[in-house]
Amino acid sequence: MDNRNILAIGTSAGGVEALLFLARHFPADFPAAVFITIHLGTQFRSSLDELLSNAGPLPAAFARDGDLVQNSRVYLAPADRHLLVERDRILLGHGSRENNARPAIDPMMRSVAACCGPRAVGVVLTGTLSDGASGLWALAQCGGITVVQDPTDAAFADMPANALKRLRPTTLSL
């Protein structure tokens, strides 16, 4: 990824399958830290960390406040907490819900944009509504690379389609 050592991925509905696909294809020496926000409920304990760890070579764990960021690791936003990145540390926020969700993708993407923009890649995958669109736009404004799943390939097209609309520059006719 040539000097890009932060990969921030946001997804929602249909996201578990997409994340498992990605986990299977990461190399064991992946030269970046991977941050994932997926909308999780609080009523049950999630085993997504175990599923992703078993699917591929990178260890996955729910992030803890103050964790030191390390390459070749997957950090998941825990239920009811926003996953934020500041320099080389993870912060867990309990701020307001965004896009009806906590954890939400936009706060993660904005924090990655602010701390690490030129060395980050942001990705929006399958999901409903528009979480991730404004955060991905912020990342692009700060020099990050943005990637959006093809809406026609997504289990749920709303999030990728809305991210593409937000990123696409408007054209003016004069």
- Report, as residue numbers or ranges, the catalytic residues: 12, 39, 131
Preceding amide of 107 cis, omega within 30:
no
Contacts of 137 (CB under 8 A, 6+ apart): 166, 167
Q: Measure the CA–CA gap between 158 and 76, rounded to whole angstroms.
A: 22
Transcribe 38-93 into DSSP letters: E---SSS---HHHHHHHHSSS-EEE--TTPBP-TTEEEEPPTTSEEEEETTEEEEE
Contacts of 145 (CB under 8 A, 6+ apart): 4, 120, 121, 122
Tokens of 68: 């030191």
